[in-house]
Amino acid sequence: MVFGAEKTHWAFKPVANPKPPKVHDKAWPLGDLDRFILNRLEQKGLRPVAESDRFTWRRRVSFDLTGLPPTVEEIRVFEADQSPQACEKVVDRLLASQAFGERWARHWLDLVGYADQIGTSNNVFAEHAWRYRDYLIDAYNNDKPFDRFIREQIAGDLLPHKTVEERAANLVATGFLVLGDIEIVEADKAKLHVDIVDQQLQKTGKAFLGMSIGCARCHDHKFDPITQGDYYAMAGFFRGTSTVYKTKRGVWSDVNVIELPETEAQKAERDKHEKAHADRLAKLKGERETARKRKAELDDQLKKKDLPKEERGKLTKERDEKAGCIVKLDKEITHAEFFAPSVPRAHGVRDVEKPGDMKITIRGNPRALGKVVPRGFLHVASSARPEIPQDQSGRHELADWVAGRDNPLTARVAVNRTWQKLFGEGLVRTVDYFGLPGERPSHPALLDFLADRFMREGWSQKRLIRSLVLSRTYRLSSAHDERNHATDPDNRLLWRMNRFRLDAEALRDAMIFTSGKLKPSTGGPALPLEFQENVSNIDPKNVNPPSFSLRKWRPGQEFERTIYLPIIRSAAQPGPAELRNVFDFAQPSEFTGQRAITAVPTQALFLMNSPEVKKHVAALAARMKKETADDAKRLEYLWLSLLNRPITAQEQREAAAFLKQAGEGAWSELCHALLASNEFLMRL
């Protein structure tokens, strides 16, 4: 452990409020952010490259804010709008779109280890996990202040509330703490509890504070000033938190299910569903009764010894049919009863009956206990001791500390995460780790400036994003410059925009979007559990928990945005979500703020040969054919749709020649080529 680091390490110092520096080229900056960037470049004698063309900017901002490309229509509108507010108008529209939340919620899910599955064993479905995903989408779209966002996710169940909707959202938000990979089949329940505490602490530490606290479970941290005492002081908040309960089946536990309060309208809606459900159930049971009676009759008749052969055959056939019918109805009834309409529910936490401080567990062994450590915060970041009500876990106090303006880490970590999504690399490149061996910020003053402003402006994510993408820096082209490159090959000083390959969601969504098939979604369950064939073990006598097996999808589900598709841990991502498996999707058992970007031939094979891509190609080609009969116009349209820029004269010639050579299916071939091209795969 490094003593004294709490005083010297940049990330533990209070967030400063630095003044934007002076720059020589006064015309270049569009705002304060640009002054910080230009100042560093000028110090090194570098000049930023020129702005990118408007088409590139339009595509870039669209993907970054919504994970989708612009439409041909939107591109034309923007091209025609020469007013000084043209960019602002675009950004405001993107920020106001539903697609914005669908994009940014996914970034957050990477930090949660989210899946529609509980744990990894036996395909146990997390029936209500989707509510947390929808909560995130709403939070981003409603620009929920980030400090509030933090408080709800750590302690939503303990927060005061004014309305039913607010209470429900608060409870759903605690899904943050329970939707990771929890090993509910652990047979040692004391160990399960301390392991969950550990996971919650690690997740909270990483997502909000950019610290790895987990190491201190067994020993003082080797590199950071986090002691074992710190670990157990923080762990105490989660020790008093109930996450799972033991089910009646085998050794299995399950994640808590919390009932949510309903509005009057929701209740009225549920009444309707319940009525319809009761009617359906009565009908099914009636049918089953009729079938049973008839079968009993037939069984009786078949007992007669002197039946003619033909008659016996006929009766046997009918009896077997009825028997089959009864089995089918049994299943249908069991399924309907299991998934009966109910009050809305979510996976979340509550305080245990007797919360309290935690004892050190030696090497994580719940039966080898050390001394009690009073609940408290990381001493590097706070000297305060929380006053915790006796009957509470203290998560409320923890949330207040994490989301407090005095916390030196939270706002810096949050701002840096947002920066990384928009510029490709964070100002601190180790986005999840602000500890001593982590990277130092490339622009420490800018990071503090942004963090301070973020807090002063009410922790508004949208305002932050808006200011970033409307900067000159964000407008820069990603073009090469020999001189700059020689001095700063990694582009740490942002003399150009970084280029990067789109992530799995953006790639798949863009394919569906451009082929015109994208189906808007209003959220809801990802797993289609309403189909009996997707569910097994719902019989309560079973020793294993209810589980899913994805055999059947909802009509149109394959055309929904990727964030709405089920995420599972126990196998490769299924069905239409298959693309996630090859394009560096975040493992749903890990917490990570930045995904790897790899280039492996399995990706090329996927783009060349997979039935999934071929399906999108066929739809895209069909759409192009419908658009216009004129080949040249069609090519223009294709380029605008996929690459979001006009086709060049050379490309027109080459594409025309290609179409001629390719003969039958030529348009599909061309669409296929473009969907696999670097310009489509990347955001420049």
Partner 1 sequence: MNTTQLSRRQLLQSAACGFGGLALSGMVAGMARGASPLAVRAPHFAPRAKRVIFLFMAGGPSQGDLFAPKDYITQNHGKPIASPVGDDGQLRVGVAKFLPMAPVAPVRPRGQSGLMLSDLLPNMAGVADELCMLRAMVSDNKAHAPAALQFHTGHIAEARPSMGSWISYGLGTENENLPSFITIHPPGDVRTYSASFLPAMHQGTPLRVPGNDREPAIKNLRDPDAKTEAQRRRLNFLQGMNQRLLKRVKTDAQMEGIIQSFELAFRMQAETPGLVDLSGESKETQEMYGIGDSKTDRNGRACLMARRLSEAGVRFVQVTIDGWDHHGDIRTALPNSAGGADKPIAGLIRDLKRRGLLKDTLVVWSGEFGRTYWSQDLSGTSPIAKHGREHQQESFCTLLAGGGVKPGLVHGETDDHGYRPVSGKVHLHDLHATLLHLLGFDHEQLNYRHAGRDFRLTDIFGNVVHDIIA
Report d(CA 28, CA 47) in Å as an integer: 11
Q: What are phi and psi of 558, to 5 degrees?
A: -65, -10
In the range 209-268, which residues lie near partner 1 by CB under 8 A?
212, 215, 222-223, 250-251
Report d(CA 659, CA 638) in Å as an integer: 13
Query: Closest distance between partner 1 and the C-beta of residue 193, in Å?
Result: 11
Contact status, residue 394 vs residue 240, Cβ threshold 8 Å: yes
Query: Closest distance between partner 1 and the C-beta of residue 32, in Å?
Result: 29
In the range 504-543, which residues lie near partner 1 by CB under 8 A?
543
Q: Does residue 570 bind partner 1 (CB under 8 A)?
A: yes
Report d(CA 598, CA 605) in Å as an integer: 14
Q: Does residue 501 bind partner 1 (CB under 8 A)?
A: yes
Write the burial class of residue 107 (CB in 10 Å: 0-12 exposed, 13-18 middle, 19+ buried).
buried
State the CB neighbour count (10 A cutoff) for residue 564. Answer: 21
Q: Which range touches partner 1 (CB under 8 A), out of 94-102, 454-462, 515-523, 667-675?
A: 667-675
Q: Which range touches partner 1 (CB under 8 A), out of 320-328, 392-400, 496-504, 550-558?
A: 496-504
Nearer to partner 1, 323 or 662 (CB): 662
Amino acid at the residue 296: A
Q: Which range touches partner 1 (CB under 8 A), out of 270-278, 319-327, 392-400, 652-660?
A: 652-660
Nearest residue to 512 via CA among 445, 612, 415, 419: 612
Nearer to partner 1, 324 or 364 (CB): 364
Query: Closest distance between partner 1 and the C-beta of residue 610, in Å?
Result: 5
Q: Write each residue from 40 to 69 as x if it is in contact with partner 1 (CB under 8 A), else as -, in one continuous string.
A: ------------------------------
Nearer to partner 1, 329 or 681 (CB): 681
Q: Which range touches partner 1 (CB under 8 A), out of 12-20, 135-143, 171-179, 665-673?
A: 665-673
End-to-end CA distance of the chain: 42
Query: Closest distance between partner 1 and the C-beta of residue 111, in Å?
Result: 14
Report d(CA 28, CA 7) in Å as an integer: 37
Q: Which of 395, 412, 569, 616 binds partner 1 (CB under 8 A)?
A: 569
Q: Residue 188 half-sphere exposure, CB side, CA atoms within 13 Å?
A: 8
In the range 85-124, which residues lie near partner 1 by CB under 8 A?
119-121
591-606 CB burial, b ≥16 within 10 A, e <16: bebbeeeeeeeebeeb
Q: Write each residue from 387 to 426 as x if it is in contact with partner 1 (CB under 8 A), else as -, in one continuous string.
A: ----------------------------------------
Nearer to partner 1, 185 or 358 (CB): 185
Query: Closest distance between partner 1 and the C-beta of residue 676, in Å?
Result: 6
Q: Does residue 549 bind partner 1 (CB under 8 A)?
A: no
Compute the CA torsion angle 122, 123, 125, 126 (nearest 10 deg).
Answer: 80
Q: Which of 328, 429, 466, 499 binds partner 1 (CB under 8 A)?
A: 499
Nearer to partner 1, 164 or 676 (CB): 676
Nearer to partner 1, 169 or 185 (CB): 185
Q: What are phi and psi of 474, to 5 degrees?
A: -70, -25
Q: Does residue 430 bind partner 1 (CB under 8 A)?
A: yes
Contact status, residue 410 vs residue 207, Cβ threshold 8 Å: no
Q: Does residue 674 bind partner 1 (CB under 8 A)?
A: yes
Q: Does residue 598 bind partner 1 (CB under 8 A)?
A: yes
Beta pairing partners, 351: 241
Q: Does residue 672 bind partner 1 (CB under 8 A)?
A: yes
Q: Which of 479, 487, 549, 552 binds partner 1 (CB under 8 A)?
A: 479
In the range 260-319, which residues lie near partner 1 by CB under 8 A?
none
Task: Classify 16 as helix, strand or coil.
Answer: coil
| DSSP element (H, E) containing 246 | strand 244-246
In the range 358-387, which residues lie near partner 1 by CB under 8 A?
366-367
Q: Which range touches partner 1 (CB under 8 A), out of 102-110, 158-166, 406-414, 651-659?
A: 651-659
Q: Residue 679 half-sphere exposure, CB side, CA atoms within 13 Å?
A: 14
DSSP 438-454: SPPPSSHHHHHHHHHHH
Report d(CA 179, CA 134) in Å as an integer: 14
Q: What are phi and psi of 360, to 5 degrees?
A: -60, 130
Nearer to partner 1, 396 or 672 (CB): 672
Contacts with 443 (C-beta within 8 Å, 6 or more apart), sequence order? 36, 37, 40, 427
Q: Which of 572, 626, 653, 660 binds partner 1 (CB under 8 A)?
A: 572
Angle at Cα 58 formed by Cα 55 and Cα 63, nearest 5°? 125
Task: Classify 485 as helix, strand or coil.
Answer: helix
Integer CA distances (angstroms), 239 to 196, 318, 570, in order: 9, 61, 28
Q: Residue 21 has which token pair?
A: 């520096």
Q: Which of 372, 589, 625, 630 binds partner 1 (CB under 8 A)?
A: 589
Dihedral sign of CA atoms 384, 390, 396, 399 in order = positive
Q: Which range touches partner 1 (CB under 8 A), out of 90-98, 149-157, 272-280, 593-601?
A: 593-601
Nearer to partner 1, 263 or 609 (CB): 609
Q: Does residue 649 bind partner 1 (CB under 8 A)?
A: no
Beta pairing partners, 372: 359
Q: Does residue 620 bind partner 1 (CB under 8 A)?
A: no
Nearer to partner 1, 276 or 658 (CB): 658
Nearer to partner 1, 290 or 602 (CB): 602
Q: Does residue 662 bind partner 1 (CB under 8 A)?
A: yes
Q: Which of 276, 372, 605, 632 binds partner 1 (CB under 8 A)?
A: 605
| DSSP element (H, E) containing 547 | strand 547-548
Q: Residue 486 has which token pair?
A: 């020689």
Nearer to partner 1, 119 or 156 (CB): 119
Q: Which of 604, 625, 626, 630 binds partner 1 (CB under 8 A)?
A: 604
